[in-house]
Structure 1
Amino acid sequence: MSLTRLIAAACVVGVWLLLCLWAWRRARRHDTQQALALQALNTPAADDTLLVAFATQTGYAESLAAQTADSLRAGGLTVRVAALDQLDLTRLAGYRRMLFIVSTYGEGDPPDAAASFAGQMQGPATGAPALAGAHYAVLALGDSEYAQYCGFGHRLNDWLHTQGAAPLFDLVDVDNGDPAALRHWQHHLGLLAGRSDLPDWQAPVYEPWRLAGRVCLNPDSLGGPCYLLTLTPPASGQSHWQAGDIAEIGPRQTRGGPLLAHREYSIASLPEDGAIQLLVRQMRSADGGLGVGSGWLTHIARLGDEIDLRVRTNRNFHAPDDGRPLILVGNGTGLAGLRALIKARRAQGPSRNWLIFGERNAAHDAFCHDDIAAWQEDGTLERVDAVYSRDQETRRYVQHLLREQADRVRSWVDAGAAIYVCGSLQGMAGGVDAALQDILGDVRLQSLQHSGRYRRDVY
Structure 2
Amino acid sequence: MTPTRLIAAACVAGLWLLLCLWAWRRARRQETQQARALQALDAPVPVDTLLVAYATQTGYAESLAEQTADSLRAGGLTVRVAALDQLDVARLAAYRRMLFVASTYGEGDPPDAAAAFSDQMLPAGPGEAARCAPALAGAQYAVLALGDSEYANFCGFGHRLDEWLHAQGAVPLFDLVEVDNGDPAALRHWQHHLGLLAGRSDLPDWQAPAYQPWRLASRKRLNPDSQGGPCYLLTLTPPADVDSTWQAGDIAEVGPRREAGGPLHAHREYSIASLPEDGAIQLLVRQMRGADGALGLGSGWLTHIARPGDPIDLRVRVNRNFHAPADGRPLILVGNGTGLAGLRALIKARRAAGHRRNWLVFGERNAAHDWFCGDEIAAWQRDGTLERVDAVFSRDQAERRYVQHHLREQADAVRAWAGDGAAIYVCGSLQGMAGGVDVALQDILGDARLQAMQRDGRYRRDVY
Name the TM tier (shorter chain).
over 0.9
* Residues 214 and 228 in structure 1, CA contact (< 8 A), matched pair in contact too: yes
Letter in 2 for 1:393: A
Q: Which residue of 2 aligns with 1:63?
A: 63
Shift of 1:21: 7.4
Size of the aligned set, in residue pairs, is 458
How much identity, in percent, do the aligned residues show? Answer: 83
Task: Indicate yes or no: 2:184 matched with 1:184.
Answer: no
CA deviation string 1:206-261 (max 9, x = no partner): 00000001001001111100000000001112000000000000001111111100
Shift of 1:8: 12
Q: Which residue of 2 aligns with 1:133?
A: 138
For residues 9 and 115 of structure 1, what CA distance do their matches in structure 2 show? 43
Letter in 2 for 1:72: L
Q: Which residue of 2 aligns with 1:397?
A: 402
For residues 202 and 14 of structure 1, what CA distance do their matches in structure 2 show? 48
Sort the Cα spacing of 1:208 and 1:22 in 2 relative to 1 into closer, same or farther, 3 A.
Answer: farther
For residues 69 and 86 of structure 1, what CA distance do their matches in structure 2 show? 17
Task: Indicate yes or no: 2:178 matched with 1:173.
Answer: yes
Q: Hey, which bits of structure 1, 4+ residues long, moved more than 4 A? A: 7-29
Shift of 1:16: 9.0
Q: Which residue of 2 aligns with 1:97?
A: 97
For residues 379 and 8 of structure 2, what CA distance do their matches in structure 1 show? 84
Shift of 1:26: 5.4
For residues 111 and 190 of structure 2, what CA distance do their matches in structure 1 show? 21
Task: Indicate yes or no: 2:297 matched with 1:297.
Answer: no
Q: TM-score, normalised by structure 2?
A: 0.95
Letter in 2 for 1:430: G
Q: Which structure 1 residue ranges, 5 or more long, are not aligned?
A: 1-6
Q: Secondary structure of the equivalent of 1:356?
A: strand
For residues 77 and 64 of structure 2, what CA distance do their matches in structure 1 show? 17
Q: Secondary structure of the equivalent of 2:219?
A: strand
For residues 313 and 454 of structure 1, what CA distance do their matches in structure 2 show? 18
For residues 135 and 39 of structure 2, what CA distance do their matches in structure 1 show? 23
Q: Which residue of 1 aligns with 2:204?
A: 199
Q: Which has the larger displacement, 88-97 or 125-134?
A: 125-134
Correspondences of 1:250-265 after superposition (within 5 Å):
250-265=255-270
Shift of 1:279: 0.3
Letter in 2 for 1:66: E
Q: Which has the larger displacement, 120-129 or 242-251?
A: 120-129
CA deviation string 1:136-163 (max 9, x = no partner): 0000111111111111110110000011
Task: Indicate yes or no: 2:145 matched with 1:148.
Answer: no
Sort the Cα spacing of 1:350 and 1:149 in 2 relative to 1 into closer, same or farther, 3 A.
Answer: closer
For residues 251 and 393 of structure 1, what CA distance do their matches in structure 2 show? 39
Q: Which residue of 2 aligns with 1:3?
A: none
For residues 237 and 19 of structure 2, what CA distance do their matches in structure 1 show? 57
* Residues 358 and 398 in structure 1, CA contact (< 8 A), matched pair in contact too: yes
Q: Which residue of 1 aligns with 2:166?
A: 161
For residues 376 and 397 of structure 2, what CA distance do their matches in structure 1 show? 26
Task: Indicate yes or no: 2:115 matched with 1:110.
Answer: no
CA deviation string 1:360-405 (max 9, x = no partner): 0001000001110110111000000000000000000000000000
Correspondences of 1:268-307 after superposition (within 5 Å):
268-307=273-312
The correspondence for 1:361, drawn from 366, 372, 391, is 366
* Residues 206 and 309 in structure 1, CA contact (< 8 A), matched pair in contact too: yes
Shift of 1:12: 11
* Residues 324 and 351 in structure 1, CA contact (< 8 A), matched pair in contact too: no
Shift of 1:11: 11
For residues 382 and 27 of structure 1, what CA distance do their matches in structure 2 show? 67
Q: Secondary structure of the equivalent of 2:453?
A: helix
Shift of 1:91: 0.7
Q: Which residue of 1 aligns with 2:245?
A: 240
Task: Indicate yes or no: 2:51 matched with 1:51.
Answer: yes
For residues 283 and 39 of structure 1, what CA distance do their matches in structure 2 show? 45
Computed over aligned residues only, the root mean square deviation of the Cα atoms, in angstroms, reads 2.3
Q: Which residue of 2 aligns with 1:80?
A: 80
Letter in 2 for 1:379: G
